[in-house]
Amino acid sequence: LPTRAGSSLEPEEHSMEPSAVPEEEEEKEMPFTAASGPAGCQLFGYVGIEAVLDQMKIKTMKTGFEFNIMVVGQSGLGKSTMVNTLFKSKVSRKASQPGQEERIPKTVQVQSITHVIEEKGVKMKLTVTDTPGFGDQINNENCWDPIIKYINEQYERYLREEVLITRKRKIPDTRVHGCVYFVPPTGHWLRPLDLEFMQRLSKIVNVVPVIAKADTLTLEERAEFKQRIQEDLKTHAISVYPQEDFDQDPDDRLLNDRIREKIPFAVVGADQEHQVNGKRVLGRKTKWGIIEVENPAHCEFPLLRDLLIRSHLQDLKDITHNVHYESYRVRRLNESNRP
């Protein structure tokens, strides 16, 4: 019994001794752990973590990236011209046969054109999807069905590649990242066709409404038309891009709030240059002067270009992948798992 009692006490004595060791180890390891406070980990010298950004930039410049944009609107609203103005090149190709542009398609046709454009070593595979025939008929019932079908087909194509056992290192991305909807410059309210389209499409794709050919409206008519469109969107609970629900950072929310105040953008497209004060500018020449497309005092095309390309291009792709495609993927997998 004494030996058992002694042996039973030894572990207790040993268990008491290591209690002082963690304090010493904690003191030694403190400089290598995250410090308390917003400063985070304290480094004693240059490590080179910032070189990760250079690595990402070099890799992106080598592989390039994809961006897919869709334009929707009635014929004659300047969709092709606007896309050419956005990318300052003939990326939206018109029909080569004479007289084909004047014919109104009997149904909505979806046409995609892909280009590889390069700027300062950065390559972008751009796909422009046009929808001739949308809203041009007398009876436009369910004219949005071919567009919804096309968008879902691109999600389905990506999903099939993703669920393969042996997948590609980089899945070709044909999903529509942004849909620019051209509203006719009537100066009144949104038409039922506009409301129905944006209500259906905003659930599966990022919709950016714009007022087409805004130079046909006066500044007062433009401001009033904008306010009416914003009221219509709010009344019918239509969430256009950038959506309030997806604002993660407070700084992003402030920036997106300023953008949401300006939506829909009143834009003017032009693919011809003119001489203004000794400079070559893109614009539309009229009897009373030249409307400069890239002048914020004349139209809001620079705001649309900054949103689609310079500030929110990656965000458009992220929301497409993480929200719209994810909801489609969950729905499809649930359907396939049902008995």
- Whether 36 maps to a domain, the answer reads no
- Is residue 30, in this structure, part of any structural domain at all? no
Q: Quick one: how many helices (H) and strands (E) in the chain?
A: 11, 9
Asked if the structure places residue 162 within a domain, the reply is yes
**Sheet architecture: strand order including 273-276:** 273-276, 279-286, 289-292
Please give the Cα distance from 263 to 210 (Å, whole number): 7
What are the angstrom distances between the C-alpha of 122 and each of 59, 63, 65, 308?
Answer: 10, 9, 9, 17
**Count of domains for the chain:** 1
* 21 in a structural domain: no
Give the span between the Cα atoms of 61 and 235, in whole angstroms. 44
Residue 289 is part of a domain; what is its CATH number? 3.40.50.300
Averaged pLDDT of the chain: 83
What confidence tens digit (pLDDT) does each residue in 245-297 have? 888 888 888 999 999 999 999 999 887 888 888 888 888 888 888 888 888 88
In a domain, 268, yes or no: yes
Task: Indicate the pTM of the whole model.
Answer: 0.81
- Confirm whether 187 is domain-assigned: yes
CA separation, residue 2 to residues 5, 11, 12, 13, 27 (Å): 5, 15, 16, 16, 40
pLDDT of residue 38: 53
Task: Determine, yes or no, domain membership for 138.
Answer: no
Residue 135 counted as domain residue = no
DSSP 40-105: -BPPSS---TTHHHHHHHHHHHHH-EEEEEEEE--TTS-HHHHHHHHHTS--SPPPSSTTTTTSPP
Range of the domain at 176: 61-93+106-130+146-332
Using pLDDT thresholds of 50, 70 and 90, give the confidence band for residue 210.
very high
